[in-house]
Structure 1
Amino acid sequence: MKAIVLAAGYATRLYPLTKDTPKPLLEVAGTTILDFIVAKMEKVESLDEIIIVTNNKFAGHFEAWAKDADYSKKLTVVNDGSLTNDTRLGAIGDIQYVIDSLKVDDDLMIMAGDNLFDFELTDFADYFHDVDTDCITAYEESDLNQQKRAGIVELTDDQLVQSFEEKPDQPKSPYAVPAFYLYKKETLPLFKTYLNEGNNPDAPGHFIPYLLDKKPVHAFLFEGKRYDIGTVESYERVKKIFENK
């Protein structure tokens, strides 16, 4: 298994904090967001390489981080060549860029580089191996306003995904989907097909309904908190939560 950490955004909503520092390298309670994610990935036995895909502006920052890091997994930084927010490849474009650049032919864990979370990735990987299908993650979101800002899935009793809708006006279920995915290696060619058909290259959730038309997908239901850092206010709030922990 390989892992891709999506870190090629410019995080303009967090300016000035991210004007010269990539969001995944912001610190929370004495460690970076990226270190928090990679420490969780370290525990997944089948995972042998962690790939950070970034842009030309911040590639040097991640290369310096990787040089100083002390992890057992291989760390690889991939520069997608983009220079500005307007010319970015988008998350799905970056996934395909990594697959092409590194000739990835393994099961693939994909995660956003700006999330902190309580659950263990080892449990997610175990579930993926047990059900033997592509897997997304989901959690029960009780706040209707938050549901309307998320991707929402309908699930069967055995957690098979029936439908997915991004930011619905009328959510069909309480199950929200963050950007944590596990795809089987046989699925990877579908990313290129998806892009070649002119579909949206940006948010990684756009790939899910496309995949649902072709293959079964299960949802790993996790408990505990997950924190999305999108604004200065949310960053300050998350810092306080983790400092109190």
Structure 2
Amino acid sequence: MKAVVLAAGKGTRLRPLTDDKPKALVEVGDQPIIEHCLDDLVSLDAEEFVVVVGHKKEQIISRLGDEYRGVPITYAHQREPAGLAHAVLTAEQYIDDDFMLMLGDNIFRANLEDVLAEQRDDSSDAAFLVEEVPWEEASRFGVCVTNDDGEIVEVVEKPDEPVSNLAMTGFYTFSPAIFDACHLVQPSDRGEYELPDAIDLLIRSGRSISTVTLEGWRIDIGYPEDRDEAERRLREVDTDRRVGRSDSASYSDSKEVSVSGDGEDE
């Protein structure tokens, strides 16, 4: 399965870390955020990366080159920051089957492989990794409303009155039907083509979208303090491994997640 990584953001909220580099190249630990993403996708047997670039794209291309850990890379250029649905469409010409989508500003230590298993189920047209967040914090996120079978029936972006506490985490699998939906999306109030609007179109067209609840943690690197928190979490994981604790043990001990948003920033 191919993997699309959205890495076109400027990272204005990450300044001064992004004064001289794009958001995707901010280092967490000993490597850029985007390499953490690609490492996760390599572990999921991604057969090709489609990296969507924009701001300071030359730096990303220079850093990664034509392949990463033996997996070929194709670059798609998002010429303007017009929203996540717009970013997804820049990859359309390179995708002809089910694919993984990862927002390139996340650090995951989680059960990503379970999302692929859901996608491979013939009854699923898409599958999302979602996280149960405290109800009082749900208005900060794009949240999913599900039915009794765990299928998504509605997506609401940062609701004033939370209708769910299942937050989207930035890792998805889709069939190519998502491109048709993205083409139909109209600009939002902030003038962008929003991915949740495309997802709602999929749902209304009768497509089935499954959810997988996050086991572990993820951090969206939106602010400098998020980078610091991610580095702390990664040090804990390294320590746990050195003393012989399992990944699942370290996941269960680290449930509080810092999330700044679920899309590229301006």
Report the TM-score, using the length of structure 2 for normalisation: 0.79
User: For the structure 1 residues 29 and 37, does the alpha-carbon distance in structure 2 shift closer, same or farther, using more than 3 Å as the test?
Assistant: same
Q: Find 2:89's aligned residue among 92, 96, 106.
A: 96
Give distance in 2, aligned partners of 1:187 and 1:17.
33
Percent same amino acid among aligned pairs?
Answer: 26
Contact 2:129 2:168 in 1 (8 A): yes
- The residue aligned with 1:106 is 97
Task: Give 1:141's aligned amino acid.
Answer: V
Q: Which runs of 5+ in 1 are unaligned?
A: 83-87
Unaligned runs of 5+ in 2: 238-266
Give the number of equivalent residue pairs: 233
Separation (CA, whole Å) in 2 of partners of 1:198 and 1:16: 30
- The CA distance in 1 between the partners of 2:182 and 2:18, in whole Å, is 29
1:118 corresponds, among 82, 100, 109, to: 109
TM-aligned CA deviation for residue 69 of structure 1: 5.9
The alignment partner of 2:210 has SS state of: strand
Structure 2 counterparts to residues 1-80 of structure 1, below 5 A: 1-45=1-45, 47-55=46-54, 57-67=55-65, 70-80=68-78
Matches within 5 A, 1:134-149: 134-142=126-134, 144-145=136-137, 147-149=138-140
Distance 2:209 2:124 in 1: 9
Aligned partners of 2:216, 2:30: CA distance in 1, in Å?
A: 21
CA distance in 1 between partners of 2:228 and 2:194 (Å): 24
Q: State how 1:150-189 maps to structure 2 within 5 Å.
A: 150-189=141-180
Measure how far apart 1:198 and its partner are: 4.7
Change (3 A) 1:225 1:143: farther
Q: Give the Cα separation in 2 of the matches to 1:230 and 1:93.
A: 20
- Give 4+ residue runs of structure 1 displaced > 6 Å after superposition: none
Deviation track 1:9-56 (CA, whole Å, cap 9, x = no partner) reads: 1111111211221222111121221111111111223x321111111x
Secondary structure at the aligned position of 1:225 is classed as strand
Give the alignment's TM-score, normalised by structure 1.
0.86
Q: CA RMSD in A?
A: 2.1
